[in-house]
Chains A and B, each alone.
Chain A
Amino acid sequence: MAISEVNRDALVEGEKAPWNSNEMMTIAAARTLKDGMICFVGIGIPSTASILAKATHAPNLVLIYESGTVNTDPKTLPLSIGDPELANRALTVVSMPEIFNYWLQPGRIDVGFLGAAQIDRYANINTTVIGESYEKPKVRLPGAGGATEIAGACKEVIIVLKQTTRTFVSEIDFITSVGFGDGPGAREKNGLIGGGPRYVITDLGILEPDPESKELVLTSIHPGVTLEQIRENTGWDLKVAANLVTTSAPTSSELERVRALVATSSRKKS
């Protein structure tokens, strides 16, 4: 069955989508990137989405990775920011003080892409520990890396993560990177010069901060997903936009490109 035959804007309830949730997240994230943006990218879905956007509607997207690769144009999916593909195909490679102090800190980056283990209603994120105690965590996660300052200084931030009651929690165990803190004014109070989260893209839908309250509001629901399903997978009483829309289904061309890209991944797995 050709992909184009099953490509449609909405699925019949109960019908299995002809794409998987990672593909939907990746494609939805790619669509948010505009041509010419300077984009600070991390590994995983952010990388796939950025490379996809650059290959489709945003050929002039400038990709910067924290390893120092500036304006890189990877043709294969890097396993990590250490992948030589990123350095070999970059306009230039700069030192980390230059990346963090000269590029990120003064606000030269248009959009930063982050993942998270936990997120709260103000889009603050945790990548440090799971469990109430920092000293005695249930699970020790990798930590901040570049995320804290990316969240602070990029003009806008896009967060990509799967939506479950373990990830979408009423209170995150550790604030690693600030979204909107405890609400309006928190970013300004903390001297964070960037605009904060613009979109939170999950496997179920898209959330955006309310312009006034800064609380995340569900604005788009992916095809084949129900509102009830989204509420069940959110650890707080989720606000839903009055004009809730359905995310456009992945086009056959988007799906083909995403799959081709994932197939180039140097990670060997089935």
Chain B
Amino acid sequence: MSKFVTLESAISAHLHDGDTVALEGFTHLIPFAAGQEIIRQRKKDLTAIRLTPDLLYDQLIGAGCVKKLVFSWGGNPGVGSLHRFRDAYQNAWPRPLEIEEHTHAGMTNRYLAGASGMPFAVLRGYFGTDLVENTTNIATIDSPFTDEKILAVAAINPDVTIVHAQQADRNGNVMAWGIIGSSREAVFAAKKVIVTVEEIVDSFEPRFNSVIYPEALITSISLAPRGAWPSYASGYYDRDNDAYIAWDEISKERESFTRWLDDEVYGKRVQDLTPVGMGR
């Protein structure tokens, strides 16, 4: 069976209400097209995992898809707050939002444990902070080899990890390059992997800092040109800083956000979207 399917089919077939899902891509290759297809299919009760919820999860949260957010930094990078996240957490709009909060190092290591098939990972972190009393999935353990306390963080094994990459080849292998963040760990940690790509090519050329996700790891691949916009895909297009700034206005009020949702997400089909407009 071909792994190449439309994004609509991929989300419909492989992501279910109540799933634990990680859409990764740190600052780069953020899978916006996939996130908006999740909204369009009105998926609900998701536990959404991501180091930086970013505009991507602000949209999912505002649309009511998310029951619980697991994260480590929830702002609009370089701009300010995530208004939909704040409104959901502080005012339960459009639904109550549970949170589980970590640090970047903690989240990265949680994926690493998940990718390695281990129940937990260890790091030096969190000690002395109020996170220790206020978050779950952490524990203090005695180092078995030295006389010190070490922090353990529980593995994350998402039901589904979704990543965007530059290219797939015709055999279903995927290549990403540039900033990779924690994507590789999130891919290896997942039970199912949905990938969107800029382009399908006959064969890969060597690239700067490239990562290959072999076909065996991947559940489905969908073509989604500009699918990371307004973040960027190195070699294809640059980050649209203006869109990040514009999001601050769009998301500030429930009314303007709802209008954006109707016009730019519900009002469009995934086939039409290159890209979904945010004030464009």
Q: State whether these chains interact.
A: yes
A190 to B127 Cα, complex, angstroms: 5
Interface-located stretch among B33-41, B163-171, B219-227, B235-243? B235-243
Given A81-B27, A134-B134, A68 contacting B180 (CB threshold 8 A): yes
Chain B residue total in the interface (Cβ 8 A): 58
- Beta-carbon contact of A81 and B232 below 8 Å: no
- Chain A residues within an 8 Å CB radius of B148: 191
- Beta-carbon contact of B72 and A145 below 8 Å: yes
Given A191-B127, A267-B245, A146 contacting B104 (CB threshold 8 A): yes
Report if B124 contacts A (CB, 8 A).
yes
Given A96-B181, A140-B89, A267-B245, A67 contacting B78 (CB threshold 8 A): no
Closest to B88 in A: A140
A176 to B112 Cα, complex, angstroms: 23
Given A97-B108, A128-B101, A140-B89, A193 contacting B124 (CB threshold 8 A): yes
- Beta-carbon contact of A191 and B124 below 8 Å: yes
- Beta-carbon contact of A144 and B130 below 8 Å: no
Report if B268 contacts A (CB, 8 A).
no
Q: Is the interface of A mostly helix, strand, loop or mixed?
A: loop
Closest to A149 in B: B105
A138 to B105 Cα, complex, angstroms: 27
- Beta-carbon contact of B182 and A149 below 8 Å: no
Contact among A69, A88, A142, A176 with B74 in the assembled complex (CB-CB below 8 Å): A142
- Beta-carbon contact of B27 and A67 below 8 Å: yes
Interface-located stretch among A54-62, A100-108, A156-164? A100-108
Chain A residue total in the interface (Cβ 8 A): 57
- Chain B residues within an 8 Å CB radius of A79: 77-79, 239, 241, 244
Distance (whole angstroms) from the CB of B19 to the closest CB of chain A: 24
21 contacts between A and B (CB under 8 A): A69-B179, A79-B244, A81-B27, A83-B78, A84-B232, A87-B178, A93-B208, A97-B112, A100-B108, A140-B90, A142-B75, A143-B74, A144-B102, A145-B72, A145-B73, A149-B103, A149-B104, A149-B123, A174-B130, A181-B128, A267-B241
Interface, chain A (partner B; CB < 8 A): 43, 66-69, 78-84, 87-88, 92-97, 100-101, 104-105, 128, 134, 136-137, 139-149, 152-153, 174-178, 181, 186-187, 189-193, 266-268
